[in-house]
Structure 1
Amino acid sequence: MTTTGLKTVSSQSTVTAADAAAGIRAMHKGDIDAAETLFSAAFRKKTPPAGSELRAYIASLFFDSPPYTTDNGSIVHDDGNGNIDSAIFALPMTFHTVDRTAVARLLCAFVSSGAKGALGAARLARNVRATQQDMCFSDTSSATSADHCIAAGGIILPIQSLDWHRVFQPVAALALRLQKRINLPGIDLMLPLCRMFDTALAKWKPGFRPVGDFGFQCKLEEPSAFFEHIAPMTRRFAIRPEWRKIEFDWLIEKAKLNRKLGKLQCGIVEDRQGTVIGAFLFFGNKKRVATVLNILCQPGKELDVTREMFAFLNIAGHATSQGMAQPFLMNALGRQRLMSFRHRGYFCISTRHDDLKQAALLGDIYIGGLASEQWSRMLTDF
């Protein structure tokens, strides 16, 4: 792997001889059945195990990505009797990190078999401590995991730990939220009535609905169009995903499988001269919730691009929209009406490189969306 003008760091195996002696090793395809059982027991206690569909998804997600090698993928702990009692699901992603290129690990799930797997889980946790990592991160960490990350030399990104929510139709949005929280039946039948109330509310308070600027426009394109705008619009960040074409295409195809979030789409924002100033990837589902994965823009165009994006999503009929907060977007997002921010889960990063750590703490980082697990079916379907 070569990169002109940059140091290149290939992720080396963090499994030392001592780790191997302690039962830590790379996850192999033969471990998928055991790993699926651990995952289902940890996260799906109230629902039947997903079984073969989840196993197929694990195989595809964690073994088929373009940067994958056994040195940068998932790891497991073998109790010495051939039984897998704990596992860390990890997805490798290529990042530009200050002055080098590195294959980072996105930690998607940390599972163990209760008390039986406690020792193995502790050994795995030590294996991903900051001193052994070029870069590993998780965007859905619990408070306990975040505490362990900090204790092991990692950091938390507080802004990226938030989701923003912009409401367009308050009554419909409230109904959808109630359905999600308490499984309220009949919401689909109630939505047309909710929309009638929202239409009346919009006439009374027209400022609730976002309006685009005169002469600007947003066009709907295939998700692949997003790739054309990645490099010039992310170059300002010291830490950013490389998203080489083969890796980007693979991520897009995997994201498209998440039909629960809706159809994956791309919006392209143009100014009055027809110049592209921004782009965004989003899921839009039949219940009118838009989940925005990534927003890109030219420096200084954050307000213009977010304004056009929200106006477009409103016209498209979405009741509400949501996405991961980013430091460079906070000023623009904060100017929207009916905007709120909620804690989603801790965004944790572990690295042995001080320059990477400092850049991340200063907000000089573009991460999230495709460069996280927000698109994964592991979060929504299984």
Structure 2
Amino acid sequence: MDLDSSNAGPQKITAPPVVDSQHGSVRPLTTEDLENVAALFLTKFRHRRHHRDRAIARTAQYMRELYLDGGESKALVQINPQGRLGGFMGVLKARYELNGTALNAAIIGPFMTDSNTDHGWAGPQLLRTLHQGEYDLYLTDSANRTSLAFARPMKYQLLPVHCLEWTCVFRPGAMAAAMLHRKWPGLPRLALDPCARAFDALAGRRSELPAQHSSSHRVHREPIDAAQFAERLPMLMSDYALRPSWKDGELPRLLALAAEKRADGPLHFGGICDDAGKMLGCYAFYGQAGGVANLLQIQGSGSHWGATLDALIAAAREMGCVGIVGQTQSRLMPQLFSHQRVFFRYAGGTMVRSRIAEVAEAVRSGDIFIGGLMGDRWTRLSSDDFGRV
């Protein structure tokens, strides 16, 4: 499509058609698919063996709420010629704007195929069917290397910086123990915690305080709630050319869904203000004492990214978290480099596809708000164990 400067609203998105071929068909997800899709998800991403029936039921219920309760399903399933589930692609509808022009976006979440029933056709079929929809851009922030192999030939642009995860360590021993316990919940804490405390005592009890970044204004940190965060975040991201367009209470509803995630503790909000009370930055993170905090979203204005990051780290430390992890983004990298005990690793591919030249150029130049709430890592599918009580 050609991009103009009008402010017309997005066109209605019709469901992708049912696509048939000799290798199977692709159609929108239905209620009848949920149990099989949930079972495939747990096999591919959780490797769960215990309490499997309960986990399938809970995963299916969450998928129903995530993909079906909003009306017409955007998620897709591939059915092989024998009538069995061959693959699944989770899709959430979103709205963006580029310099005032409304755009329809598809956020791609879990993308999986069943190796027992699929012979290499399900993945390409799902992507091709998705691309037949009336979306202006397609994005994901959690693609694994298999998904990258499917998507790159289909002209998805990779955002290398956003593919990384940063980790700031407060107490090395306690953080290692927390990560081991999360991976193997059966490990006894009585064996891990004393060793962690002893290591941290030898290492100097606590890591160095975070660097304090200079700012042209005196700033102070203050806690805020979800409603205040939803009010202020859009104002702070207004300098991105390609940014979300949340309307009619959409952002508060999204934050309420994000707050259901359980793996890393409750969702907390905070911000920094100048002496006049003007909000200069805000953040949202999951955290609890003794655990690893997980950043959902951080946004600063102008030269205040560093002070916003300092406030985030201070809030997590004061809560008793042993460290914090978060997705990297271009405007945050200089501030991350100035902190001690910050490490980076590859966490998942962030990619965008669009046939609109102006959108592709904004992506290439990094002038896009992506990740966090404009991705799928905020969903329970990204981390939660559906088999636990």
How far residue 313 of structure 1 moved from its aligned partner, in angstroms, is 2.0
Aligned residues: 373
- The equivalent residue for 2:102 is 101
Larger deviation, residues 150-159 vs 217-226: 217-226
More helix by share: 1
Runs of 4+ in structure 1 off by over 4 angstroms are: 16-22, 129-133, 180-184, 199-203, 211-215
Give the 5 Å matches for 1:200-349. Answer: 201-202=203-204, 208-210=208-210, 216-349=219-352
When normalised by structure 1's length, the TM-score is 0.87
- Counterpart of 1:34 (choices 33, 36, 43) is 36
- The equivalent residue for 1:9 is 10
C-alpha spacing 1:80/1:246, structure 2 compared with 1 (3 Å) = farther
Task: Verify the 8 A CA contact 2:78 2:86 in the aligned structure 1.
Answer: yes
**Counterparts of 1:158 and 1:13 in 2: how far apart (Å)?**
32
- Counterpart of 1:123 (choices 122, 125, 132) is 125
C-alpha spacing 1:337/1:245, structure 2 compared with 1 (3 Å) = farther
**Counterparts of 1:253 and 1:92 in 2: how far apart (Å)?**
17
**Counterparts of 1:272 and 1:168 in 2: how far apart (Å)?**
30
Is residue 77 from structure 1 mapped to residue 78 from structure 2 by the alignment?
yes
Partner of 1:243: helix, strand, or coil?
coil
**Counterparts of 1:174 and 1:45 in 2: how far apart (Å)?**
22
Task: Verify the 8 A CA contact 1:164 1:342 in the aligned structure 2.
Answer: yes
Partner of 1:173: helix, strand, or coil?
helix
**Counterparts of 1:47 and 1:349 in 2: how far apart (Å)?**
35
**Counterparts of 1:367 and 1:113 in 2: how far apart (Å)?**
29
Task: Verify the 8 A CA contact 2:104 2:135 in the aligned structure 1.
Answer: no
How far residue 180 of structure 1 moved from its aligned partner, in angstroms, is 4.2
- Counterpart of 1:140 (choices 139, 142, 151) is 142
C-alpha spacing 1:27/1:330, structure 2 compared with 1 (3 Å) = same
C-alpha spacing 1:266/1:335, structure 2 compared with 1 (3 Å) = same
C-alpha spacing 1:18/1:33, structure 2 compared with 1 (3 Å) = closer
Give the 5 Å matches for 1:191-206. Answer: 191=193, 194-195=196-197, 198=200, 201-202=203-204
Larger deviation, residues 243-252 vs 48-57: 243-252
CA RMSD of aligned residues (A): 2.9
The share of aligned pairs that are identical, in percent, is: 22
How far residue 77 of structure 1 moved from its aligned partner, in angstroms, is 2.1
Task: Verify the 8 A CA contact 1:223 1:264 in the aligned structure 2.
Answer: no
**Counterparts of 1:129 and 1:5 in 2: how far apart (Å)?**
24
Task: Verify the 8 A CA contact 2:111 2:147 in the aligned structure 1.
Answer: no
How far residue 216 of structure 1 moved from its aligned partner, in angstroms, is 3.4
Structure 1: any 5+ residue segments left out of the alignment? none
When normalised by structure 2's length, the TM-score is 0.85
Partner of 2:374: helix, strand, or coil?
coil
How far residue 361 of structure 1 moved from its aligned partner, in angstroms, is 1.8
Task: Verify the 8 A CA contact 1:176 1:187 in the aligned structure 2.
Answer: no
